[in-house]
Amino acid sequence: MSTTVQARTSAQDAPERRQVRPAGEGRIGPRAHLRHIGALVRRNVLQLKQDPQSMVDALLMPIVFALLFVYVFGGAISGKDNRDAYVNYVVPGLMAMMGLSIAMAVGVGVNEDFKKGVMDRFRSMPISRSSVLIAKIVVEIGRMAVAMVILLGMGFLLGMEVRTSVLELLAAMGLSLLFGASLMWIFILLGLTVQSPQAVQGMAMLVLLPLQFGSSIFAPTNTMPDWLRTFTEYNPLSNLADAARALVNGGELASSVWWTLGWAVAITVVTAPLAVGRFRRKT
């Protein structure tokens, strides 16, 4: 008799047990998803406030790069007495470099969060996994915007002129931020794959150096050998630098803008699902 009662009780309790889901799983609506992103963005911003040193790269890197490249390469490329022309060439190109450098820091940060156990706390919360990564990207876009404003301020101090309009200058910034956001997914995926922050930095530098110096960011490509010039034509950083340069200085920009947008969309479509999937498996 007791065995029959226990069986009936287990059968009645089974649906209730099946309805219990681990935290963070189940369907989360768009409004809840946005609330999660907003809460995590606020958390990440408070972290920056508590650790001001994490903003050093965004604050000082634009100044160092602007001074270094203008006064090291400017005279050699444009002539000692024509350095102002090089300022208008290199500063829009450095906008592309800012996005790449800060995107690398995102991958390092994600890897460190796993090492510190921060992601273990998120695992127990009823939040969508993608909101954690999207919130981090939103905050890093803000850091990237700060770096670009400082870079442009240095450019103006060094003699840069906007030969188009303020709206086109803002469009150049927006295009650089969009492309930088797409690159963050690559480095997030890298940070979720390798074992240590040092490995993230080492592998990222192997990618960064050829893309940066094999492009039109620092110098015109007409003196490069044919094989390298072919690489620069398909290098997305060259497309972004040329687009930003045309928006600031004037000139043909349709092709470079469309190529940059195409690269940004393609990178995001391919790497964002991979990064979110990898993050879910790890958490």
Q: Give the DSSP letter string of the chain.
A: -HHHHHHHHHHHHHHHHHH---TT-S---HHHHHHHHHHHHHHHHHHHHH-GGGGHHHHHHHHHHHHHHHHHHHHHHH-GGGHHHHHHHHHHHHHHHHHHHHHHHHHHHHHHHHHHTHHHHHHTSSS-HHHHHHHHHHHHHHHHHHHHHHHHHHHHHTT---SS-HHHHHHHHHHHHHHHHHHHHHHHHHHHHSSSHHHHHHHHHHHHHHHHHSSSSSS-STTS-HHHHHHHHH-HHHHHHHHHHHHHH-S--HHHHHHHHHHHHHHHHHHHHHHHHHHHHH-
Does residue 263 have a pLDDT over 90?
A: yes
Q: What pLDDT was estimated at residue 242?
A: 93
Residue 6 has pLDDT above 70, yes or no: no
Task: Express each pLDDT in 219-244 by its tens digit.
Answer: 888 888 988 888 988 899 999 999 99
Question: Model confidence over 122-137: pLDDT tens digits?
Answer: 666 667 777 888 888 9
Which among 110, 280, 277 is positioned nearest to 187, based on CA atoms? 110
Provide the pLDDT for residue 269: 95
CA angle (257, 238, 265) in 5-degree steps: 50
- Could you tell me the CA-to-CA distances from 151 to 91, 177, 256 in Å, in that order? 7, 14, 22
Tell me the pLDDT tens digit for each residue of 51-61: 777 788 788 88
pLDDT given for residue 16 in this prediction? 41
* pLDDT tens column, 172-208: 999 999 999 999 999 999 988 888 888 888 888 888 8
Q: How high is the pLDDT of residue 146? A: 92
pLDDT at 1: 45
What local confidence, expressed as pLDDT, does residue 10 receive?
A: 45
What is residue 80's predicted lDDT score, i.e. its pLDDT?
Answer: 67
Reply yes or no on whether the pLDDT at 25 is more than 70: no
- Asked whether 229 and 101 are in contact (CB, 8 A), the reply is no
pLDDT of the residue at 247: 93
Task: Please report which confidence band the pLDDT of residue 48 belongs to, taking 50, 70 and 90 as the band edges.
Answer: confident
Indicate whether 152 pLDDT > 80: yes
**Is the confidence at residue 33, as pLDDT, over 70?**
yes
Lowest mean pLDDT among 7-11, 151-155, 180-184: 7-11
Report the percentage of the chain scoring pLDDT > 90.
30
Residue 13: per-residue pLDDT: 47
| In the chain, where the domains are located | 29-282
Label residue 283 by pLDDT band (50, 70, 90).
Answer: low
- What confidence score (pLDDT) does residue 98 get? 85
